[in-house]
Amino acid sequence: MKKTPHRILCWDDRFIETSENVRIQAHSPEKKNIALTCDHEWEGVHNGYASVLRVGETYRLYYRADSFRHRIDKASTPGRAVICMAESRDGGITFRAPNIGKYEYNGTKNNNIVFSREKAIDNFSVFYDTNPDCPMEEKFKALSEINYGNDNGGTKLIYFSSEDGYDFKERYALDVQGTFDTYNVVLWDENTKQYFLYYRAFHTKEGEDRLSWRGARPDWIRDIRVATSKDFRNWEAHGRISFEEDQEEYQLYTNQITKYFRTDDTFIGFPVRYYDRAEEKRNFHFMPLGDRHENITAVFGREGTAVTDCVIMTSNDGFRFNRRDEAFMTPGVEARDNWWYGNCYLAYGLAETESETEGAPNEISFYVGENYRIKNVNFRRYTIRMDGFFSWFAPYRGGDVLTKPMTVDGDALRLNFATSALGGINVTLCDKDGNELDGYRSYTMFGNSIDRPVEFEKSVGDLIGQQVRLKISMRDAHLYSFCFLDGR
């Protein structure tokens, strides 16, 4: 298997020793096509909590479908949700619902349902296990909260497995405590040879943990917990993931934490944050569905005055995260079906997809449900450039960065960067003390490339194993990432 390169992502300042006139800039995704239209009778306004998985050369999208609950201003009807699967035959651009024929719905098995049960389903998160020692019959893993009505405030996190992703069998309850009433996710970390589990619990404003629903109060804060395991059966709970000291606390509804596939040491998450704006509710009279707002609030209470968006957070160890408080995704310009509770819920996982522009490099795609509780939820595709969530940016007047020492582990230096027509980037390799190395000053590079080799008078291969610093001069330019690659 091809080794994932150690790519330096320009997402924070941990690799920067000194800088002048350079800032870290966040980037927004581009809205693309409807990837999956959910118009079957077993689907509805509560579709959501989705996972996107790469299986061989195809992508699969697993999601909860719920036709029993009605629109946002009508009461819910008792019933049960089902878990469905759609597949992509065009590399993640669009998905279609195959006829799986496993579960009966309204007298026929002609549907794409892969899981159903008598107990209600709120969440059922599906993952493909990349642990090389994982038994084949457990390559597809799923986690689901089940309410048993007593122990731990009534909830347990149940593990299901499948060999083919179509036939899931219940295994056991994970020995962790939490409320689990969200999309709980798990991943395999090849670096530390262990599983990471991220799940929901609460704490009070005073910082006291609340791991069950007993005595629940509206002012409890929803948080993200982490546990690890070497074998998926014995788990060590580590408590809440941490952020910068004194960073504002707010309600985090999901976490969507995964390993970033372009490098070997980065975790990335897209938590949905929730905020009840009841005190500013006059806004809703001028916003989408304003004419129905009173009915909505009467039926759903706080969910009639709450709004949701999505932020982004990254980590290098899976425990401490750098969370940006500026939104990565908002509900967008006011339309008929947005700015209500349930916007900006990303499907779990990222896909590498072809660009719509001929000859352009591949992009990162992710998928977001639209129309939650308003009409049938469809999944829309969004894209961002490779490594393009953040960049080091210098304006037209120019800026400079000197990196911390790093080991040369390849015979070529390659950049992911973009400049204006008048902008540019220069790179000079220095020794570990910051002294410029003779023969290692590049010419000025301009353009927009995710993988441009940097040319020097001397070979980078002559420096393999040595510690160097990069002196980077930029003008009206973004630097998204760089890495030493062995091209021999």
Instruction: Indicate if 353 and 457 belong to the same structural domain.
Output: no
Shared-domain flag, residues 320 and 443: no
Looking at residues 59-78, what average pLDDT do you find?
A: 73
pLDDT tens digits, one per residue of 121-174: 889 999 999 999 999 999 999 999 987 655 555 689 999 999 999 999 999 999
Q: Are 419 and 367 members of one domain?
A: no
Q: 373 with 226, same domain?
A: yes
Domain edge (last residue) among 367, 387, 407: 387
* Amino acid in the structure at residue 370: E
Confidence of residue 416 (pLDDT cuts 50, 70, 90): very high
Is the pLDDT at 4 greater than 70? The verdict is: no
What's the mean per-residue pLDDT of the chain?
92
Q: Which of 374, 371, 368, 373 is nearest to 346 (CA)?
A: 368
Residue 214 and residue 77 share a domain: yes
- CA–CA distance from 247 to each of 225, 242, 244, 253, 272 (Å)? 17, 10, 5, 17, 17
Reported for 139-148, long-range contacts at CB under 8 A and 24+ positions apart, including other chains, are: 139/163, 140/164, 140/165, 140/168, 141/186, 141/232, 142/115, 142/168, 143/174, 143/184, 143/185, 143/186, 143/197, 145/180, 145/181, 145/184, 146/119, 147/119, 147/120
Q: Which of 364, 387, 410 is the last residue of a domain?
A: 387
**Domain contains 4:** no
234 and 92 both lie in a single domain: yes
* pLDDT 10s digits, 5-21: 689 999 999 999 999 99
Asked whether residue 9 is domain-assigned, the answer is no
CB-CB contact of 135 with 106 (8 Å):
no
Whether 462 is in a domain gets the answer: yes
- pLDDT-derived band at 185 (thresholds 50, 70, 90) equals very high
* pLDDT per residue as tens digits for the range 17-57: 999 999 999 999 999 999 999 999 999 888 999 999 999 88
User: Which CATH number characterizes residue 262's domain?
Assistant: 2.115.10.20
Classify residue 488 as exposed, middle or buried by CB count within 10 Å of its CB (0-12, 13-18, 19+): exposed
Say which DSSP state 105 is in: B
Does residue 472 have a pLDDT over 80?
Answer: yes
Please indicate, yes or no, whether residues 343 and 357 belong to a single structural domain of this protein. yes
Q: What pLDDT does residue 294 have? A: 78
In a domain, 5, yes or no: no
- Specify the 3-state DSSP secondary structure of 30: strand
Hey, which bits of 350-411 come out as E strands?
A: 351-353, 363-370, 378-385, 390-394, 399-403, 406-407
In a domain, 417, yes or no: yes
* pTM greater than 0.85 (yes/no): yes
Q: For residue 290, name the pLDDT band (cuts at 50, 70, 90).
A: confident
Residue 228 included in any domain = yes
Q: What is the pLDDT, as a whole number, of residue 70?
A: 56
Confirm if 306 and 261 have CB atoms less than 8 A apart. Answer: no
Residue 7 lies in a domain: no
**Are residues 142 and 74 part of one domain?**
yes
Q: Label the pairing between strands 48-55 and 58-65.
A: antiparallel
Same domain flag for 369 and 412: no
Instruction: Give the number of domains in the chain.
Output: 2
**What pLDDT, on a 0 to 100 scale, did the predictor assign at position 278?**
87
CATH code of the domain in which 445 resides: 2.60.120.260
162 shares a domain with 233: yes
136 and 69, same domain (yes or no): yes
Residues 331 and 417 in one domain: no
Last residue of a domain, one of 346, 363, 387: 387
Domain that holds residue 452: 15-24+391-485
pLDDT at 268 over 70: yes
Residue 2, domain member (yes or no): no
Per-residue confidence at 72, pLDDT binned at 50, 70, 90?
Answer: low
- Interstrand relation of 448-453 and 378-385 (parallel, antiparallel or unpaired): unpaired
